[in-house]
Amino acid sequence: MDKAKMVKIYRKMLEIRFFEEKVFELYGQNLVPGTIHLYAGQEAVAVGVCENLREDDYIVSTHRGHGHCIAKGAKLDKTMAEILGKKTGYCKGKGGSMHIADFSIGMLGATAVVGAGLPIATGAGLSIKLRGTDQVVACFFGDGASNQGTFHEAINIAAIWKLPVLFVCENNLYAMGTCQTQVMLLKDIAKRASAYGIPGVSVNGNNVLDIFEVAQEAGKRARNHEGPTLIECKTYRHKGHSRFDPATYRPKEEVKAWLEQDPLHQFKKWLLEAGNVETTYLDQIEKQVITAIESAVKFAKDSPYPDPHEALEDVHAEWR
């Protein structure tokens, strides 16, 4: 990987982290309708995977999806406007944080229904196969979602038909307040891949370079029409499940240990030590990202809310 690519990866991870911090702050000011599910701590997954995708590839996201959108190339201002429910947002303010989508960048949608993204990804994979292109789909979902029936059905069909899907499980150890150990005996969710006859790989979800490599391999396999891969990224969310959750169910030592493995700090350290990148250069990038986020917030705050008369527009498809 060349230096420009490494720096691009750092910038993207930083954009996601600072974006999330801003959303958290705006929520406190009552500017975000509904709730929010923060992605801080999991940035390496979105960026490590999406840096292997082309503009015409697809992603399918979850309730914790701001990071996936930004990693796939969503503009910060339109994403922020959507989260604030403004007319200038990607879905004219009607999707909000949990139902944001933008087909023009291959972002097929976030969904608040746990596990609902997997069949959508399989469907997109089938559409690619029928159209005969070499696109791929990356489907993000959580450890909790991997216990839904949709996980089994979607992966099994994708395996049988050799569909070009990267099933990316973000195992952050918890589904709301439920720890993985309370609901499954398996330690590695990737092992479930063997039930479908496809490769399954567990990777350090806080190491962006490791994820990049695994996703690269899975991407090649998908583009070569060899079928899907299940990638389990072991990671941790820094905050509670949603804005309302103080996450007191997590042992303090566990939180401390994971915070010490912050993906952003680890990658910065690596860039400075092994990547041969200067501190001053990274400081400069940090300033640019802060400015970009501030301008996105201004854009969103200055934008109007949709008119109540538009409430039902774009909600149902036209009958043709």
Which residues of the shown chain bind Mg ion in the complex (CB under 5 A)? 142-143, 172, 175
Residue 112 binds ligand TPP (CB under 6 A): yes
- Cβ(16)–Cβ(238) under 8 Å? no
Of 15, 143, 232, 262, the residue at the interface with ligand TPP (CB under 6 A) is 143
Q: Which residue number, 132 or 149, has a Cβ lying nearer to ligand TPP?
A: 149
Residue 125 binds ligand TPP (CB under 6 A): no
DSSP 8-state class, residue 234: E
Looking at the chain, list the stretches that DSSP marks H as alpha helix, in order from N- to C-terminal side.
3-28, 43-50, 66-71, 76-83, 117-131, 149-160, 180-183, 208-223, 252-259, 263-273, 279-302
The two three-digit tokens of residue 220, written as one number: 């090649």
Residue 64 binds ligand TPP (CB under 6 A): yes
Q: State how far the Cα of 136 lies from the Cα of 274, in Å rounded to an integer.
A: 32
Residue 91 binds ligand TPP (CB under 6 A): no
Q: Which of 57, 24, 16 is nearest to 267 (CA)?
A: 16
Q: Show the CA angle centred on residue 140, arms to residues 134 and 145, nearest 5°.
A: 130
- Choose one: 25-33, 85-93, 112-120, 213-221; the region binding ligand TPP (CB under 6 A): 112-120
Minimum distance between the CB of residue 234 and Mg ion, rounded to whole angstroms?
11
Of 113, 160, 255, 259, the residue at the interface with ligand TPP (CB under 6 A) is 113
DSSP 8-state class, residue 175: E
- Choose one: 48-56, 107-115, 272-280, 284-292; the region binding ligand TPP (CB under 6 A): 107-115
Using CB under 6 A, which residues numbered 162 to 181 contact ligand TPP?
A: 172, 174-176
The two three-digit tokens of residue 60, written as one number: 């399918």
Q: Which residue number, 144 or 164, has a Cβ lying nearer to Mg ion?
A: 144
Residue 255 binds ligand TPP (CB under 6 A): no
DSSP 8-state class, residue 103: G
Q: Which residue number, 66 or 241, has a Cβ lying nearer to ligand TPP?
A: 241
Q: Which residue number, 42 or 88, has a Cβ lying nearer to ligand TPP?
A: 42
**Which listed option, ligand TPP, Mg ion, none, makes contact with residue 113 (CB within 5 to 8 Å by class)?**
ligand TPP
- What one-letter code names the amino acid at 111? T
The two three-digit tokens of residue 123, written as one number: 């469907």
Q: State how far the Cα of 262 lies from the Cα of 230, in Å rounded to an integer.
A: 24
Q: Which residue number, 160 or 176, has a Cβ lying nearer to ligand TPP?
A: 176
Chain residues that interact with ligand TPP, rule: CB under 6 A: 63-64, 112-114, 142-145, 172, 174-176, 241
